[in-house]
Amino acid sequence: MAGRTVIPFGPQHPVLPEPFQLKLTLEEERVVEAVPAFGYIHRGLEQLVETRDFIQMVYIVERVCGICTFMHALAYCQGIETLMGIEVPPRARYLRTIWSELQRLHSHHLWLGLLADALGYESLFMQSWKNREAIMDITEATAGSRVIISTCQIGGVRRDIDAKLQGELRRTLDEVEAELKQIEPVFRDDPTIRARTVGKAVLTREQAIELGASGPMLRASGVPRDLRVTGYAAYGDLDFAPITEEAGDNYARIVVRLRDIHQSLALIREALDKLPDGEIAVPFKGNPDGEVVSRVEQPRGEVVYYIKANGTRNLERLRIRTPTFANMAPVVHLLPGLELADVPVLVLSMDPCLSCTER
């Protein structure tokens, strides 16, 4: 059509953390159509259930994503525990919650840095990732590794957090919170950031529900859906309520994640205050049988694990539905009508993880 131009956004682009492509049809500088293209990093992890037993699969699912690795293991282990009737000790449930929230802190700080970089704020990017480094360091101190921590196992956790480490964790949380107070006003109040985000790419409550949005993208449109309210791990014992914003624009998605960070800090502190004594894992025998759906709230939204077992060491089926897959439909819906310069900010507001999506 005369006056229209088709350009590729990705798979290699300065603001994209992972490779995927949007084929954008433009009229002048305005997007009129967007078609996503996937498949650049497909790995076939789900098929490994045919050659790896159900215990080895804990390590496989951790590698679905390097940012929310623990939560993938948690969703998988909770599913197997349901099939086998395994009761996880209370202390292990609290430790699972602490590591989950540490990864949420790490993920949101990583995202804040990427957003700052996309907006051209290099020093803000470095400050966000500097704060993230403190979170990574305490994760390494408590779990033995910075990224794939491998502390979650069927029946509990592999490592404990003793009194000395609890003190180090509390001090790190105080440092992270103090640093966050320095950078948060820029994300909230800077006139350039507000001009690039307020009123941009508005996803209404009705659209968010109809298109299946998840996580901060859903809650920024006023829908209080967060799987932590179901009480898995130790969330049922903690003071928790879903964080929502009503505007549904790019700015609201920033604010939801900033408030998420404060909530995660509070949840970890409360979990440490209430951390019970006792065992951190229970032994088990046998193999899983039956089928189950296990769900966990990751930093980007709801991850769904479908597990089908047949009483042998090898599962019959494993399927994973990730939040990026769910959030791609709302993003593609919002792209038409935006100016080209607004496309990177909208895509980043989803916090895409194609490594998760292309198992």
For 319, phi then psi, to 5°, come to -130, 140
What SS3 string covers 52-93? CCCCCHHHHHHCCCCCCHHHHHHHHHHHHHHHHCCCCCHHHH
What confidence score (pLDDT) does residue 38 get? Answer: 79
Q: Which residues of the chain have pLDDT under 70?
A: 1-2, 359
Q: Which of 190, 191, 217 is nearest to 202 (CA)?
A: 217
- pLDDT for the residue 21: 87
* Superfamily of 4-357 according to CATH: Cytochrome-c3 Hydrogenase, chain B (1.10.645.10)
Domain residue ranges of the chain, discontinuous segments joined by +: 4-357
- Which of 267, 341, 328 has its CA nearest to residue 300? 328
Identify the pLDDT of residue 42. Answer: 75
**Cα distance between residue 305 and residue 288, in whole Å:** 15
Residues 6+ apart with CB under 8 A from 328: 36, 350, 352, 357
142 burial class (0-12, 13-18, 19+ CB within 10 angstroms)? buried
The pLDDT, as a whole number, for residue 306 is: 97
pLDDT value, residue 2: 52
User: What is the C-alpha to C-alpha distance for residues 180 and 178, in angstroms, rounded to an integer?
Assistant: 5
Query: CB–CB of 244/219 below 8 Å?
Result: yes
pLDDT of residue 357: 79
Residue 331 tokens, joined: 């993003």
* pTM, two decimal places: 0.95
Residue indicated by tokens 């109809």: 210
